[in-house]
Amino acid sequence: MRDSTPATPAGLRADFRRHFGGEPAVCRAPGRVNLIGEHTDYNAGFVLPVAIAFYVYAAVRARSDGRLRVHSTHFDETVELPITAGPASVTPPGGERRWSDYVWGVAQCLLARGEPLPGADLLIHGEVPLGAGLSSSAALGMAAALALTQSARRPLDPLTLATLCQRAENEFAGTRCGIMDPFTAAFGREGYALCLDCRTLTYRPVPLEAHQPSDAAAAAPRLVICNTMIRHRLAASEYNKRRAECERGVAALARLLPHVRSLRDVTLDELRSARPRLDAVIFRRCRHVLTENARVAAAATALEDRDFQRFGQLMGDSHSSLCRDYEVSCDELDLMVRLARELDGVYGARMTGGGFGGCTVNLVREDAVEGFRRFMAERYRQATGQSPEIYVCESADGASRLMQAPGEGQSWQRISRD
């Protein structure tokens, strides 16, 4: 979700007063860009995302009458959601998929784990571009989850919030996503990427910036996101289809290799040996996941070594694999990547997110950023007739409360990531 009006806690409180009256607390959660490791998270693999300083904000005030009212500034719409305890239905209120499903799903998951939800008024303001592959849905779910749990005086730890938001998106919003997006929204750390093992949920921060004076000569390049402004209709269905294809691959490989529970358990040599027994499409899907896991490990090491040339090469290899083996790129994304590769000062470029439109992520030398922005905007517009949005990204911390409600005292604390 993204609104053209810059968000401030004071401004959100003013909006809240206009819609609901009273004084709210304000929480927020960041979007994310994935540097490398695409479609590996739901295969128990490895990813290297960065939380970015585009946020979804949630202004919240507790109620005691069991009503949950939610207003979106982006859609200029207010909905009232059922939050009565009992067996949860996966059919959204009204029967159609909409933005409020993410909030409703979070509320249902909180109730299912026995958390009290006496009711709340919630105002949502989003800065994360919709449909761009920058995790607007996870930012919305995380902001809502943090706001609801804190307003009920039942704060949860960030890992619980992340797994709860993943479940809400899987079961109530219809997307079979992995853990990467809500995990990054919860655990993001300014100045760092997260090298995350999606099976064990252990991670290590990987520095994006030079943190020692001796590193000055190897100052980090900038992360620049180019939005194609394209979102193909098949994106959601094809995402779920890719996950189903990986599950078919796991089932076929498990018949040959009893130890296999996920693609994480398969070596590339084992996959090649099994090729005659696999459907050709399934083989390519599996090959992408296995090679992408290896690229994540190599990319994290390259980033720690300040070897940006190597990192950029791995980004290029990732895009090629996503295009040929996983088949989730599209003409507009491929054009963006080709254009970026024409320029000096660009270490690497690749699609990011689920695919079929959305954004590319680019690693660009600091002194080349402005020229990069002008070149990409002009050439992409000439080729497609579309004017792209181009964002120079700042890394960000994970979800947090910015302002407490009047009278809340010290009962709300920033969620701990220790």
Alpha carbon distance 247, 148 (integer Å): 34
Q: Are 198 and 46 in contact (CB under 8 A)?
A: yes
Is 181 among the residues known to form the active site?
yes
- Assess contact for 353 and 336: CB atoms under 8 A: no
The tokens describing 264, both together, are 């994480």
Residues 358 and 345: beta-carbon distance below 8 Å: no
Quote the CA–CA distance of 193 and 78 in Å, as a whole number. Answer: 36
Across 113-261, the runs of DSSP E, i.e. the strands, are: 120-126, 192-197, 202-207, 222-231
Annotated catalytic residue within 15, 41, 121, 181: 181
d(CA 28, CA 398): 9
- Alpha-helix runs per DSSP H in 20-65: none
Rounded distance between C-alpha atoms, residue 23 and residue 16, angstroms: 7
Q: How many residues does the chain have?
A: 418
Distance CA 35, CA 51 (A): 10
Nearest to 200, CA basis, from 39, 46, 416, 34: 46
Listed in order, strand segments (DSSP E) in 234-386 are 346-352, 357-364
Closest CA to 117 of 106, 104, 103, 107: 107
The amino acid at residue 190 is: E
Active centre residues (catalytic) = 181
